[in-house]
Copies of this chain bind each other. A is one copy, B any other.
Amino acid sequence: MISQQYPSQLLERAVQEFSKLPGVGRKTALRLVLHLLRQEDQDVQAFVEAVSRLKHDVCYCKTCHNISDAERCPICADPRRDATTVCVVENIQDVMAVENTQQYHGLYHVLGGVISPMDGIGPSDLEIDSLVKRVEEGGVREVILALSPTMEGDTTNFYIFRKLAPYDVSISIIARGVSVGNELEYTDEVTLGRSIVNRTPFEGK
């Protein structure tokens, strides 16, 4: 495609900024920018302010490091949640994903990533020490490891497992097995193998 010359530097600049967003090319960026240009002044103002305020005013929960508007996130602050269970996740999207299942009623601990030497991310870049401190302070009976089943996730799981070994806390990991709704014949052999080794009693319900 011929690289397009916009008749306005301001337009060019806005399109450039939008096309830095993930999954947004120059064509989509132009569409979004022209849409904003057609909106009322106050609507564009609201858009700009929402982004700006999010970046400047957002906090992270001091306990679990989830995104929050206050020092403690609504989950940590909720007295109905089971504070003896902590689910360790990689990022705030994963908190939302687990919350969406409506199957978990404990608290979280957001690591902010996984150990990945290739990307230069070591244990000290993650919220692992604060997790150990949380366990050390007592009150936590179970730590559930809910990281992605990748090499980096497994490395991080193992690192956390060793770090928590001295403490009186049970450590579990989310089940790996066949996905609900998937065809068995297309499940990869590692997953299928695990699902056979880790079979559970059939409850016939």
Contact = CB atoms under 8 A, between A and B. Distances in A.
Given A14-B50, A37-B55, A48-B52, 19 more contacts: A7-B75, A8-B67, A8-B68, A10-B53, A13-B54, A14-B51, A14-B54, A17-B46, A18-B47, A20-B47, A23-B28, A30-B93, A34-B92, A34-B93, A36-B51, A44-B51, A44-B55, A45-B52, A47-B51
A68 B61 CA distance: 46
B73 A7 contact: yes
Contacts of A174: none
Given A50-B13, A55-B44, A7 B92 contact: yes
Interface string A57-89: 110010000111100011100000000000000
Interface in A1-57: 2, 4-11, 13-14, 16-18, 20-24, 28, 30-37, 41, 43-48, 50-55, 57
Contacts of A73: 7-8
Nearest to A32: B21
A124 to B, nearest CB: 19
A2 B100 contact: yes
This protein's copies in its complex: 2
Given A28-B23, A32-B22, A11 B67 contact: yes
A96 interface: yes
Given A17-B51, A28-B23, A51-B47, A7 B67 contact: yes
Contacts of A8: 58, 67-69, 73
Given A17-B46, A28-B23, A30-B93, A37 B54 contact: yes
A52 to B, nearest CB: 5
Nearest to A95: B7
A4 B102 CA distance: 11
A95 B30 CA distance: 13
